[in-house]
Amino acid sequence: MIEFKNVTKSYGKLTTLNNISISIKEPGIYCLLGRNGAGKTTMLKTMAGHIAATSGEVEINGKKVDMMDMPNDIHFVEADARQFNIRLNELIHAAANINPLFDYSFAINLAERFKLDTHKKYNQLSFGMKSMVNTLIALASSKNTLLLDEPVLGFDPIMRKAFYDMLMESCAEKPKIVVVSTHIVDEMSKVAEQLIIIDKGAPILFCDMNNIDEKAYCVTGSAELVKAATDGLRVIGETKVGNHLSRYIFDRRIDEKDVWISALSLQDFFVGLVGNEKGDY
């Protein structure tokens, strides 16, 4: 369990986390979304004990996170994480020697599955392959909580699909809390069970993905009919071309025959919530 209790992080006059109180209680895959500079990486680093909160507390399984005594049951992978420049088979051996819970056979199996040349040194790999190795080591760590900051950065579509499969299989085999910060929004909607959206240093949404599937949708038609059909509903965004209007809704479902109702992608939902200035995407 991860719990933020009135956590604020400031650098001089700049506040990156603003009085956050949030609890992540159950195992599962949590998608953390936010614009650049919203506080996602700071939030992950605070969870991991890499930086200290200015005020408030972070607890992992009831124990206060402290930079001098970082939690043992968390594995944090930064977007630009680096490893020792040794052969991959040696790197996996080293990870197993450091961590008694490390699942060596799982790591080797994943390396073979994703065709990683374990005889290559770490620095000989492409940026995407380095990220894959970092994620592989995290998943094999057997930690109860994984924090992954932009893990698919540098991945091609095939590698991203492999990553999502690997993540889901790992969580099915050994349930854990996995928090994934990403900008590849719609792809994570097929994997994540919970969604956290942070804006200007504070969460503005924390809910089950099924709730979004049920309540987020698009209403399209003539402007007059769309406005009438959506009156009283929470409109999070809209686009208009001539007399043709599309409104993005996050509210109860409606059953109207005079307008077209369609699914709203997670990306459009996210943009509607946090990119609501004109032309702000």
222/112 same-domain check: no
Element (H, E) at 32: strand 28-33
- The pair of three-digit structure tokens given for residue 44, joined into one six-digit string: 């992950």
pLDDT value, residue 66: 83
Rounded Cα distance, 201 and 203, in Å: 7
91/55 same-domain check: yes
Residue 100: give its domain's CATH number. 3.40.50.300
Task: State whether the Cα torsion 69-73-77-83 is positive or negative.
Answer: positive
For residue 177, the SS3 value is strand
19/60 same-domain check: yes
Element (H, E) at 7: strand 2-11
**Do residues 140 and 167 make contact, with C-beta atoms less than 8 angstroms apart?**
no
- The pair of three-digit structure tokens given for residue 233, joined into one six-digit string: 């509903």
Helices (H), 31-119: 40-48, 88-98, 104-113
The pairing of beta strand 145-149 with beta strand 74-77: parallel
Structural domain includes residue 265:
yes
Structural domain includes residue 160:
yes
**Residue range 108-114: mean pLDDT, rounded:** 87
The percentage of the chain sitting over the pLDDT mark of 70, rounded to a whole number, equals 98
Burial class (CB in 10 A: 0-12, 13-18, 19+), 20: buried
**Do residues 67 and 76 make contact, with C-beta atoms less than 8 angstroms apart?**
no
Structural domain includes residue 280:
no
Structural domain includes residue 163:
yes
233/105 same-domain check: no
Q: Is the pLDDT of residue 277 over 60?
A: no
pLDDT value, residue 280: 36
Point out the domain boundary residue: 200, 227, 255. 200
158/29 same-domain check: yes
Structural domain includes residue 24:
yes
**Residue range 84-94: mean pLDDT, rounded:** 94
Q: How far apart are the first and last CA of the chain?
A: 33
158/244 same-domain check: no
Rounded Cα distance, 17 and 99, in Å: 32
Which one, of 58, 64, 52, lies nearest residue 23 by Cα? 58
70/143 same-domain check: yes
86/156 same-domain check: yes
Structural domains of the chain, count: 2
The pTM for the full model equals 0.89
228/181 same-domain check: no
Point out the domain boundary residue: 169, 200, 231. 200
pLDDT value, residue 104: 93
Rounded Cα distance, 213 and 189, in Å: 10
b/e sequence 231-246, b meaning 16+ C-beta within 10 Å: eebebbbbeeeeeebb
**Residue range 224-248: mean pLDDT, rounded:** 94
Q: Is the pLDDT of residue 257 over 70?
A: yes
185/226 same-domain check: no
**Residue range 157-166: mean pLDDT, rounded:** 88
Point out the domain boundary residue: 162, 179, 200. 200
53/156 same-domain check: yes
For residue 256, the SS3 value is coil
Structural domain containing residue 234: 212-275
Structural domain includes residue 205:
no
**Do residues 192 and 269 make contact, with C-beta atoms less than 8 angstroms apart?**
no
164/218 same-domain check: no
Structural domain includes residue 207:
no
Which one, of 142, 147, 144, 110, lies nearest residue 129 by Cα? 110
Structural domain includes residue 186:
yes
